[in-house]
Amino acid sequence: MEIFYHIDTWVAFVTLTFLEIVLGIDNIIFISITAGKLPENQIKKATNIGLLLAMVFRIILLIGVSFIIAMKDALFTIDLSWFQAAVSGQSLILLGGGIFLLYKSTSEIHHKVEGISEEEKAKTDVKSSLSKVIIQIVLIDIIFSFDSVLTAVGMTNGLDGALIVMIAAVIVSIIIMMIFALPVGKFVNKHPTIQMLALSFLILIGFMLVTESAHLSNAVIFGQHVGAIPKGYLYFAIAFSLGVEALNMKMRRLRINP
């Protein structure tokens, strides 16, 4: 534990913890929507179990970080007249995660717009539903973990005890997420417009994962290289949309209580 006597270690720890929390906002949005379908007495249990299992998987990924980095090597190549790519394991995981988010978010929007009753969706066994929710939470967190783990490795490169710092940052960030996941979830499920915005954000994130997969594969479509979308654009869009919705909510309250 002597590594924590150095200022560089604490700077890296605080930065990584903040990074994990920011990236965890996506997880909290997904958790709030997915766990919101369960009975109220099951929501906290699903959230805590899902996040604890996700923390275990993320730590395993950190320990096997050398394997993750090796996944950048191309597994196979595609060479068509209009499309070329060198597909790696890392890009396949991001592609699968992006497609999963796009499908899940679109399905949820369809259910809400079409007005499918919760009673019809709740006919399945509660235990089965709880297990499905936990599996979905863990799977999506594993997908997001690849991005955050690789970023953490880059930030702690050359730092003594980097693995300990990264694991500590993950544990602290998961604890913070467990504290705030339920309040955020209740707020999101209480306001349908916020819920639709959250689902729209997940579609954007899914699209970004797909484009990131193509970028890591050095994909060329009709002679054009696929570039990475700066995440700052995504965060700006989310912040701007939430700001507009906050103003709308304030206006609605003023109409009700002038």
Q: Give the residue among 142, 105, 127 at the shortest CA–CA distance from 46.
A: 127
Domain around 186 = 2-256
Share of the chain above pLDDT 70, in %: 72
For residue 153, what pLDDT band results from cuts at 50, 70 and 90? low
**pLDDT, tens digit, 9 for 90 and up, residues 107-116:** 878 877 776 5
Number of domain units in the chain: 1
C-alpha to C-alpha distance for 187 and 194, rounded to whole angstroms: 8
Burial of 168 (0-12, 13-18, 19+ CB in 10 A): middle
Closest CA to 121 of 136, 138, 108: 108
The DSSP secondary-structure symbol of 230 reads P
Lowest mean pLDDT among 2-6, 117-121, 136-140, 162-166: 117-121
pLDDT at 58: 79
Would the pLDDT of 63 be above 60? yes
Q: Mean pLDDT for the chain? A: 75
List, for residues 128-147, the tens digit of each pLDDT value. Answer: 467 777 777 777 777 666 66
* Mean pLDDT within 74-90: 86
In which band, very low, low, confident or very high, does the pLDDT at 180 lie, cut at 50, 70 and 90? confident
Whether the pLDDT of residue 117 is over 50: the answer is no
What the block records as the tokens of 194 is 């916020």
**pLDDT confidence of residue 157:** 55
**Taking a C-beta distance cutoff of 8 angstroms, is the pair 5, 157 a contact?**
no
Judge whether residue 56 has pLDDT over 80: yes
Edge-to-edge strands, sheet with 74-79: 74-79, 83-88, 220-221, 224-225
Distance from CA of residue 145 to its chain's centroid?
A: 8
Confidence of residue 124 (pLDDT cuts 50, 70, 90): very low
Do the beta carbons of residue 179 and residue 51 sit within 8 Å?
Answer: no
Cα–Cα distance measured from residue 17 to residue 176, given in angstroms and rounded to the nearest whole number = 10
Amino acid identity for residue 30 in this structure:
F
pLDDT at 122: 43
Q: Is the pLDDT of residue 123 over 50?
A: no
Tokens of 97: 């995660």
C-alpha–C-alpha distance, residues 139 and 133, integer Å: 10
